[in-house]
Amino acid sequence: MNDSPWKILGITADAEDSTVRARYLTLVREFPPEQHPEKFAAIRDAYEKVRDTYSRVKYRLFEQGRDDSLDALIEGLACQNIRPRLSLVQLLRELPPV
């Protein structure tokens, strides 16, 4: 697990308890455990972390980022944001000679 619970639930960190719950129920209906066991587990785990104020504070104090892993970071780096904006000069420089 690497994404934040907010990202998994698709809500912002300042969402109300009721919003969190509503979103959780929507996602659970969308990803039932029989068909999406891993996704369901991730949603459930994320919900438990942010379901109410106490859970959110406890998560921030003792858990936030603790379950991240280097593998996930490398994977993320490889397939997400390591796409540089290239310049025309760079692209032309890498062309083989005519």
Partner 1 sequence: MASSTRKPGKLDDYPDTIRELLEALSFLPALELARELQARLPSPENAALLRSVYLRYGNALRSAQKGAALIGLLNEAEKLPLPEGLEGQTWLASIVELRIATGEIRRVLVMAQTLTDPALRSGILGAVGDRIVRTNNKDKLLPAEHLPAFDAFNKAFYHYSAGHYDIARDLLQKIPSSSIFVEMKLMLRGLIAWNHNDDAGAVENWKRLTPTRMAAEMIAPIRAQIDPAWNKSQPIVRRAALSQRAMNLMPATGTRVMSEVRRLMSKSGEGMTPTLTYLRKASAEVKALPPAVFHRLANLMYWAILDRGGPNDLGEYKKVFPPHPDDPSFFRLIAMVQEQVEALENSYALWNEYQQWIGKTASQWPASQASLARAIIFTRMGGLVETVLADADEDEDGDGYDDDEDDDDLEDGYYYEEGFDTFTPPKPGDKGKAKKKSKSKKKAKPKEPVKQLPFDLRECYKLASEIAPDWAVPSIKLLGSLYEKEEYQKASELLLSMPTSTMSDPEVVRIAGDVWLKLNQLSRSLEARRAAVKINPLDKRLRRDLAVCAMMNLREKIVANDEPAIAALVKEADSHADAILKVSVKVLEAFHHFARKREVEGTAVLATLGTDPVGRRALNYRLAVEATRLKLSPARKKEYASGFDAALEGKPTIPEMIHLLGALSEYRAEPVAYRGLITHEKKILTALDSAIRLEKTLTVLVPLGRMLVQFGYWKPLDTLARTGRSRSSNDLWMRLFEIQSWALSGKHKNREYHYGQAIARMLKEIEKNPTPETSAIKKEIDELLRQNRELDRFVNNPFRFW
Q: Which residues bind partner 1 (CB under 8 A)?
A: 13-14, 53-54, 56-58, 60-61, 64-66, 68-71, 73-74, 76-88, 90-92, 94-98
Residue 69 CB, shortest distance to partner 1, in Å, is: 8
Instruction: Kindly tell me which of 22 and 74 has the beta carbon lying closer to partner 1.
Output: 74
Measured from the CB of residue 21, what is the shortest distance to partner 1 in angstroms? 17
Q: Which is nearer to partner 1, 34 or 65 (CB)?
A: 65
Distance of CA 73 to the CA centre of its chain: 12
H/E segment holding residue 50: helix 37-50
d(CA 54, CA 63): 13
* Residue 17 beta carbon to partner 1: minimum distance, rounded to whole angstroms: 12
CB nearer to partner 1: give 18 or 80: 80
Q: Report the nearest approach of partner 1 to the CB of residue 29 (Å).
A: 28
